[in-house]
């Protein structure tokens, strides 16, 4: 791409995404003002501790939320708004335009249904004009692309290994050729060989089909190997986002620095962790939400809520140690 070439339109444009759950103590703001773009064929990793809002963000994009949950903001998929659309349009978008690969396939695959029937139901729900026979063949074809013999299409989910079940989930997600795939911990509990196979499949979808990939994971090594950019979430917000190489080589937010220090490698001689625990999202602290755990915090951190500010080309962080993160100086919100 030349310097003057226009940037491609994002496959997914998220602005001020909000996800809240009702609790006996009040509203829990699991996702609070998340914004980002995902280009066609790009891979964006979403990382952070358990409870930071990663999975809620993914489900909020799809609006796959439990009763009583509320979602707000804007989610533009190929330029079309998904927040607030009618239920019929939303059902058509799921699977056909945007798909989700869940963490544990056995919780998503019906144990009483043959795998082929999963494909027939998914395909005909979106394309009723497709015959059952043709839908079954589409399922066999996509399973073959995933490395699963088509002869096994009539087996039940429990007759497959964990890695094969995850490949079935990916096959179900891509059979209708969506623009964006959200993969929520797609390799958790899989051995390293199967993990590599799953990652190769996802990478092939990006390069061959120009599919945008949102990879939600705890595994920073996975992100380093497979993603173009990374967004670090803490307490429902993105606190740092940028190219993987830049963020990992020069993290600007103390939370990102702590996460990277806690990674275990073959050279590790001492275990490092971040002291403290994430805040209560029913009643989060004033100012920077990481301040109570931050060794670099100073006076303003407990009163001023930092906003994402440019720290390098394409690299942003929300920390008062960085020039521009004071809201009154920027004049705009993230």
- Give 174-220 as a DSSP string: HTT--SEEEEESTTTT--HHHHHHHHHHHHHHHHHH--EEEEE-S-H
Distance CA(76)–CA(83), nearest Å, equals 8
- pLDDT given at position 211: 92
- pLDDT given at position 257: 96
Structure tokens at 105: 């396939």
Range of the domain at 87: 12-97+178-330
Q: Is residue 82 part of a domain?
A: yes
CATH number at residue 287: 3.40.50.300
Query: How many domains does the chain divide into?
Result: 1
- Tens of pLDDT, residues 220-267: 988 998 999 999 999 999 999 999 999 999 999 999 999 999 988 778
Q: Is residue 128 part of a domain?
A: no
pTM: 0.89
Chain CA centroid to CA 61, Å: 9
Distances (CA, A) of 60 to 31, 139, 256, 317: 9, 28, 24, 23
| Nearest CA among 86, 97, 93, 81 for reference residue 16 | 81
Report the residue count for the chain.
334
Q: Is residue 119 part of a domain?
A: no
Q: Is residue 115 part of a domain?
A: no
Q: Is residue 315 part of a domain?
A: yes
Q: Is residue 312 part of a domain?
A: yes
Cβ-contact 32, 236 below 8 angstroms: yes
- pLDDT given at position 334: 38
Q: What are phi and psi of 212, to 5 degrees?
A: -80, 135
Distance CA(109)–CA(184), nearest Å, equals 16
Q: Is residue 195 part of a domain?
A: yes
Ranges of residues in the chain with a pLDDT under 70 are 1-8, 189, 328-334
Cβ-contact 281, 235 below 8 angstroms: yes
Q: Is residue 106 part of a domain?
A: no
- pLDDT given at position 91: 86
């Amino acid at each position: 791409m030349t310097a003057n070439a226009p940037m491609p339109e994002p496959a997914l444009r998220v602005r001020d995404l909000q996800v809240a759950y009702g609790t006996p103590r009040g509203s829990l703001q699991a996702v609070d003002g998340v914004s980002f773009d995902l280009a066609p064929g790009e891979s964006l990793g979403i990382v952070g501790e358990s409870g930071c809002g990663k999975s809620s963000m993914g489900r909020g994009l799809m609006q796959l939320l439990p009763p009583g949950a509320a979602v707000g903001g804007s989610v533009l998929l190929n330029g079309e708004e998904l927040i607030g659309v009618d239920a019929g349009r939303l059902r058509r978008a799921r699977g056909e335009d945007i798909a989700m690969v869940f963490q544990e396939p056995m919780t998503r695959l019906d144990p009483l249904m043959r795998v082929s029937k999963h494909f027939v139901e998914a395909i005909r729900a979106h394309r009723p004009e497709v015959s059952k026979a043709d839908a079954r063949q589409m399922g066999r074809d996509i399973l073959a692309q995933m490395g699963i013999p088509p002869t096994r299409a009539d087996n039940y989910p429990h007759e497959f290994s964990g890695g094969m079940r995850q490949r079935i989930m990916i096959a179900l997600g891509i059979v209708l050729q969506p623009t964006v795939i959200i993969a929520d911990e797609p390799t958790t509990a899989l051995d390293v060989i199967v993990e590599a196979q799953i990652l190769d499949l996802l990478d092939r979808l990006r390069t061959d089909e120009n599919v945008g990939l949102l990879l939600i994971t705890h595994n920073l090594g996975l992100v380093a190997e497979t993603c173009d950019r990374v967004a670090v979430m803490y307490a429902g917000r993105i606190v740092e986002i940028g190219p993987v190489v830049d963020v990992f080589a020069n993290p600007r937010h103390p939370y990102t620095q702590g996460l990277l220090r806690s990674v275990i490698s073959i050279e590790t001689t001492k275990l490092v962790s971040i002291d403290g625990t994430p805040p209560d999202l029913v009643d989060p602290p004033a100012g920077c939400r990481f301040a109570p755990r931050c060794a670099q915090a100073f006076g303003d951190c407990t009163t001023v809520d930092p906003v994402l500010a440019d720290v390098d080309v394409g690299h942003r962080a929300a920390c008062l140690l960085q020039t521009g993160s004071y809201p009154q100086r920027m004049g705009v919100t993230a």
